[in-house]
């Protein structure tokens, strides 16, 4: 090589730096690719994405190919750089060449290309896949040998390629992806997706209409009172019982009542019993995602929640579950506004029968929901007695004043989110 001009050697060295930068950036870009976006682009038919996905299906072979090429280039560059150093500086060039070569390769063949590849992986990986794929076929015997030896050595220390984790997102990871989506997914859609993920953590107990608020028809009542109740009812389905709500004999759909009145112009006990729909009972504690599947399978929309002893606890509807996903759309807003009233001092006057999840959702609060389901239950759990009106207590970062009570429950309470300056208020006054 003594006859080769230095200019040509420097040109070859420049090309080797470019090749090294290609291999270095390709490795980083391929590993940094978003696998889910890559899979999506491949399904859309993008050729470079398909090639990249095929290369990444065996990462050990891809890394073996890239490192094989990179090391060959680096060793050749080291030899040529040493030759150039001797030609230019004599014996001193043997010491100078490695120092210069390391600086050049670190900057132009490692740091810069790998940084660009980490920031813009698709920009580097997709074009590089067109080069790496045919190289894989050409160098396959060498790559196979390298992988065979390295995988065998890994096996000696208990590591196998079969041990790699499946490339799936957990529910918590998917939640993070949705939250980090930013402007790519509208805020309302992000909230709906998060609510769907949360269905597994929410049970029918959290959203059911409690037993004491269930509107139902008692067949022991006079028929004129039943007719008056039906004519003023805001619901489309009502449980029907005799004597006690624990003795539910069916569910009546008001559409059937309207058809019956239009045909016979009268309503009797026997006629009501004839149009009753069989009751559908839901075990207490059923997760919402399970109950939604049950409604879909049974073609139902209305369930009566019972405990392990068969005692009625409340009722749940398909609309209640859908509202957990998309937000309220069937609630009468006039009643809805009376349950949580905003006051001028920044506090809220809240009906204590309201569910804690509903309060948290409307006011963006974080009242504890791992115990009692309603505000009344939360206050009684902390106080452990029926308080008098005016009793004040602190729950986490919320100051609560009881404003109205009955013999066996708290009816209304005023709640204010404490500022940092007021966090020194005692837990109970």
Residue pLDDT tens, the chain, 429 long: 556 777 888 888 899 999 999 999 999 999 999 888 898 899 999 999 999 999 988 888 899 999 999 999 989 988 888 888 887 877 777 788 888 888 988 999 899 999 999 999 999 999 999 999 999 999 989 888 888 888 788 778 877 666 555 566 777 778 887 877 777 788 888 888 888 888 888 889 888 888 888 899 999 999 888 888 888 888 889 999 998 888 999 999 888 888 877 777 778 888 888 889 999 999 999 999 899 999 999 888 899 999 988 899 999 999 888 888 887 665 444 444 568 888 888 889 999 988 888 888 888 888 888 888 889 999 999 988 899 999 999 998 899 999 999 888 899 999 998 874 344 334 333
| 405 neighbors 388 (Cβ within 8 angstroms) | yes
Residue at token pair 């809220």: 348
Residue at token pair 């004599």: 90
Class level of CATH domain 205-321: alpha beta
Task: State whether the Cα torsion 101-107-113-114 is positive or negative.
Answer: positive
Interatomic CA distance for residues 177 and 174, integer angstroms: 5
Pairing of strands 217-218, 237-242: parallel
Contacts 24+ apart (CB under 8 A), 264-272: 267/223, 267/226, 267/227, 267/230, 268/223, 269/219, 269/223, 272/217, 272/219, 272/226, 272/240
Q: In angstroms, what CA-CA distances link 206 with 113, 298, 305?
A: 54, 22, 11
Q: Order of strands across the sheet with 398-405? A: 340-342, 348-351, 410-417, 398-405, 392-395
Interatomic CA distance for residues 407 and 186, integer angstroms: 47
DSSP secondary structure of 253-267: EHHHHHHHHHHHS--
Is this prediction's pTM over 0.85?
no
Lookup: tokens for 234: 């805001």
Fold of the 333-422 domain: 3.30.465
Interatomic CA distance for residues 253 and 250, integer angstroms: 10
DSSP secondary structure of 139-201: THHHHHHHHHHHHHHHHHTT--GGGSPP----HHHHHHHHHTTGGGS-HHHHHHHHHHHHGGG
Three-state DSSP at 277 gives strand
Residue at token pair 């890994």: 154
Q: Order of strands across the sheet with 237-242? A: 217-218, 237-242, 244-253
Domain parsing of the chain, residue ranges: 6-161, 205-321, 333-422
Interatomic CA distance for residues 381 and 30, integer angstroms: 55
| 39 neighbors 145 (Cβ within 8 angstroms) | no
- Beta-bridge partners for 340: 350
């Amino acid at each position: 090589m003594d006859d080769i001009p230095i200019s040509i050697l420097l040109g070859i060295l420049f090309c080797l730096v470019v090749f090294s930068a290609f291999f270095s950036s390709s490795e980083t870009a391929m590993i940094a690719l978003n696998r889910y976006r890559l899979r999506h682009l491949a399904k859309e038919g993008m050729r470079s994405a398909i090639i990249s996905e095929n290369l990444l299906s065996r990462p050990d072979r891809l890394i073996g190919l890239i490192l094989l090429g990179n090391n060959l280039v680096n060793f050749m560059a080291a030899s040529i750089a040493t030759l150039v150093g001797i030609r230019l500086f004599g014996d001193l060039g043997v010491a100078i060449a490695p120092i210069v070569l390391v600086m050049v390769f670190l900057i132009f063949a490692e740091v810069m290309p790998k940084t660009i590849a980490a920031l813009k992986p698709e920009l580097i990986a997709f074009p590089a896949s067109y080069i790496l794929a045919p190289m894989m076929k050409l160098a396959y015997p060498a790559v196979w040998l390298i992988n065979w030896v390295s995988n065998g050595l890994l096996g000696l220390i208990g590591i196998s390629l079969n041990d790699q984790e499946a490339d799936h997102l957990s529910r918590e990871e998917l939640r993070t992806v949705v939250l980090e989506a930013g402007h790519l997914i509208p805020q309302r859609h992000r909230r709906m997706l998060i609510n769907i993920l949360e269905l597994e953590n929410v049970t029918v107990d959290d959203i059911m209409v409690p037993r004491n608020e269930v509107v139902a028809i008692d067949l022991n009542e006079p028929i004129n009172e039943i007719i008056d109740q039906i004519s003023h009812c805001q619901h489309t389905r009502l449980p029907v019982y005799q004597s006690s709500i624990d003795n539910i004999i069916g569910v009546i759909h008001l559409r059937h009542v309207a058809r019956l009145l239009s045909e016979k112009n009268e309503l009797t006990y026997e006629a009501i019993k004839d149009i009753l729909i069989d009751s559908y009972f839901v075990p207490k504690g059923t997760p919402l995602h399970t109950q939604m599947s049950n409604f879909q399978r049974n073609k139902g929309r209305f369930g009566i929640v019972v405990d392990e002893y068969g005692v009625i606890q409340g009722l749940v509807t398909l609309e209640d579950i859908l509202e957990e996903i998309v937000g309220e759309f069937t609630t009468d807003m006039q009643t809805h506004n009376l349950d949580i009233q905003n006051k001028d001092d920044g506090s809220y006057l809240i009906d204590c029968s309201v569910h804690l999840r509903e309060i948290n959702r409307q006011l963006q609060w974080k009242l504890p929901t791992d115990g009692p389901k309603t505000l009344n239950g939360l206050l009684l759990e902390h106080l452990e007695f029926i308080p008098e009106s005016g009793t004040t207590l602190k729950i986490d970062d919320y100051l609560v004043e009881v404003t109205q009570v009955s013999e066996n429950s708290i009816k209304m309470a005023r709640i204010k989110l404490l500022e940092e300056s007021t966090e020194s208020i005692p837990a109970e006054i």
